[in-house]
Structure 1
């Protein structure tokens, strides 16, 4: 039996139908589909969809007798905190509309022209100018952070799988229902959900391209700028499109720092990705074999280069 489910759209997410096609004569049975209000996963009855939607909430949200919930009229994303909805609506405004709204905000930055609705947002923004790291330092990798919230969120990455599961059971962390990946808080979890729901609420003012994350939109905007690599290293002639790439370059190339230690053998690396690659290839013995000649590689990227160079006409290399 073949099942065909119509994909959710902004105008038809409240209820959908699916056709069950079966039998020799191809009879059609129309079944109503109820999508989850948060991730849009389809269910065959409203009760199941409602119960599933509650699994997205933490323990504090579940205890509320009258839970606020509202849907963005532009992208249909569901919100359970009013000011989260109002903050989100801002991303759907044009550049001119955002500038006009910001003019009415009370808190202006002393270093640039940006304005903010609340003082806490201004204080966070000021750290991008002063470069202060007031949040503390990670006792594991010695990385410093601009806020205690960022330090706490970062610390989640150093926990074992059992420790993460324990936090999820306590309601302090979240687990994705689609891929089972664990996240330190609601914010990180809902950012991740975009990869499953395929929402793209962030629009480029220049070309209209849509993005699921504001970070990706900001990266994209660089192609419209006069200088796509505005961050210049003051030690050499290299330039970068992202500030953190330049910071990483200066830390590892010029300062020769190696902050990431292998948890098995203690060998240190300048970048976390290099440490993870070492861990996977040397200790976990993970290998990526070529489907055509049997040659193996310690890194998936090296396998891709091999396939493009030596097996370019093979189907798996496309």
Structure 2
């Protein structure tokens, strides 16, 4: 059973309900049995270490009782030929929750409350000695804990030294002052223009002076990207040909949710985009925008051989095949 800690209370992993007794938490957690655990972990876990109650843990395949997670993984591999990753154990803290006696499962020291037990576990056995006394999240550095406390559990506000704006954390105030009030940070070093923000300055340098603050090069095709996440996306989509999203209707695969969503329109009978001039309807907004050029006589695609213009690229390509297919120029 995954769980959280808030002060000296047990908190439900799925909602904000808190309990003084572990048995009450266990009964409450049963009401969330229909919740998708994997999806909840991906969307709500804010720490690298998960807390699990393993009291009464057993194998679901043969009902054999085990003592801890490592024994369970060994049992699954040996008895049921299930492949398991022992690396997952590095991101899990195991507890056997009890209202009578809480014990550290590593050194068996006893505790009366979950808070001191959690503090003991992180400091002695998890190499993350700095723990938030409010929510139980641990950190490897004191500065990280202070930053977390100021941001998540603020006790006072920090006013900007140049304006009336206030912030819940010192680093947020400092970032604001640097971004808004320090002109040297927003000044273009080439033309001396002062821009509205650091981001606008970087964009100005790239678009006006062709100076990029940082570039990431694809080692496969040498294409350059301003941000690393764009390079990663490019490699997955273009070179690795990843297609992890599957249409449940026709089975076609797509790179991401956006492309799948565009595809799903094909399976819909609705055409939500209507031309106000001729009432013709379209599946996509882009289709309507291209169609509207007919009514405005927007012939933007011009033949380089005879200068004839067309509304759509498809019409120009058709024209080229019919009239200029053998034209060498």
TM-score normalised by the chain length of structure 1: 0.35
**Larger Rg over CA atoms:** 2
TM-score normalised by the chain length of structure 2: 0.34
